[in-house]
């Protein structure tokens, strides 16, 4: 209400100022016909002015602001993979009995283009994941997620994440897996049905994580070649990957 009153007063002020200026012009030059012609001309230009300012210029500014938000979000995603994501991918790849077959499809190279990333993501939809994590593996995974809990929780505080639905879904899947593991008193003595349920939770995180990883790899391949070079040398799906530059 206070904002509305302020805008109303401001509008009346500018309207009165316009009338005052035209009145001064008439008192000095006494040319009402010119004032009328000039006013009509200005009114004719008004729709064009609205088009240029509110649609074209505002659209350009909105696109720039959106690009800046996407850039910040990609920085957050990059930090996520550096702190948590890549380690989780390595752990899940050890759980996946078909990891060698999947790994052959995800060995990145400088020759990868947009079509290669799209193809890799489409292949995930038909990939058969065979997760066989031992109960001791689940115990270690629970301990790891406990260590990273505060970091993951802080990610939800970033409003930019609201614009990235798939990454938010990944975080929810990770938190769900964390809760499933942490709320169980003894992960070493699970019945088979409960163990199967946890494997499904691991599988959900695994698929979402790979998809987000591919999206991020595509981004840095295009915009940050030096980050992509490091990502290739630390590829969690490539057993022969070495961080050292040998050639």
Q: Across all residues in the chain, what is the average pLDDT? A: 83
Residue 60's pLDDT is: 65
What are the tens digits of pLDDT across the range 13-69?
Answer: 878 888 888 788 778 877 778 777 777 777 777 777 766 667 766 666 666 766 777
What are the tens digits of pLDDT across the range 185-204?
Answer: 888 888 888 888 888 899 89
Residue 40's pLDDT is: 78
Residue 221's pLDDT is: 93
Q: How far is CA 212 from CA 33, 89, 104, 171, in A?
A: 67, 11, 18, 11
Residue 12's pLDDT is: 84
Specify the residue for token string 């614009």. 163
Are residues 172 and 207 in contact, defined by beta-carbon separation less than 8 angstroms?
Answer: no
Residue 247's pLDDT is: 63
Find the farthest-apart pair of alpha carbons in the chain and give their distance in angstroms, rounded. 98
Percent of the chain clearing pLDDT 70 (strictly above): 90
Q: What is the mean pLDDT of residues 119-143?
A: 83
Residue 16's pLDDT is: 84
3-state secondary structure 91-154: HHHHHECCHHHHHHHCCCCCCCCHHHHHHHHHHHCCCCCCECCCHHHHHHHHHHHHHCHHHHHH
Residue 53's pLDDT is: 67
pTM: 0.73
Lowest mean pLDDT among 32-41, 90-99, 109-118, 176-185: 32-41
pLDDT greater at residue 88 or residue 132:
88
Q: Structure tokens of 219?
A: 């981004």
User: How far apart are the C-alpha atoms of 61 and 65, rounded to whole Å?
Assistant: 6
pLDDT greater at residue 144 or residue 34:
144
Residue 41's pLDDT is: 74
User: How far apart are the C-alpha atoms of 227 and 216, rounded to whole Å?
Assistant: 10
Over 90: is that where the pLDDT of 178 sits? yes
As a residue count, the chain comes to 247
Percent of the chain clearing pLDDT 90 (strictly above): 30
Residue 3's pLDDT is: 54
pLDDT greater at residue 46 or residue 82:
82
What are the tens digits of pLDDT across the range 191-245?
Answer: 888 888 888 899 899 999 999 999 999 999 988 999 999 999 999 888 887 888 7
Residue 4's pLDDT is: 57
User: How far apart are the C-alpha atoms of 13 and 18, rounded to whole Å?
Assistant: 9
């Amino acid at each position: 209400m206070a904002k509305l009153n302020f805008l109303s007063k401001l509008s009346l002020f500018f309207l009165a100022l316009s009338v005052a200026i035209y009145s001064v012009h008439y008192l000095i030059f006494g040319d009402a016909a010119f004032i009328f012609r000039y006013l009509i001309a200005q009114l004719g230009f008004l729709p064009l002015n609205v088009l240029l300012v509110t649609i074209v210029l505002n659209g350009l500014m909105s696109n720039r602001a959106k690009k800046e938000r996407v850039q910040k979000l990609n920085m957050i995603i990059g930090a996520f993979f550096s702190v948590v994501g890549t380690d989780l991918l390595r752990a899940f790849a050890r759980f996946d009995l078909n990891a060698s077959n999947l790994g052959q499809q995800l060995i990145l190279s400088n020759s990868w283009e947009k079509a290669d990333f799209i193809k890799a993501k489409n292949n995930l939809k038909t990939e058969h994941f065979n997760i066989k994590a031992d109960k001791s593996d689940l115990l270690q995974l629970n301990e790891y997620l406990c260590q990273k809990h505060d970091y993951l929780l802080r990610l939800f505080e970033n409003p930019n994440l609201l614009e990235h639905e798939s990454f938010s879904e990944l975080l929810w899947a990770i938190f769900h897996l964390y809760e499933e593991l942490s709320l169980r008193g003894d992960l070493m003595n699970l019945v088979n049905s409960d163990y199967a349920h946890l494997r499904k939770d691991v599988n959900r995180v695994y698929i979402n994580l790979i998809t987000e990883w591919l999206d991020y790899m595509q981004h840095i391949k295009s915009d940050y070649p030096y980050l992509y070079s490091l990502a290739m040398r630390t590829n969690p799906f490539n057993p022969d990957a070495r961080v050292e530059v040998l050639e």
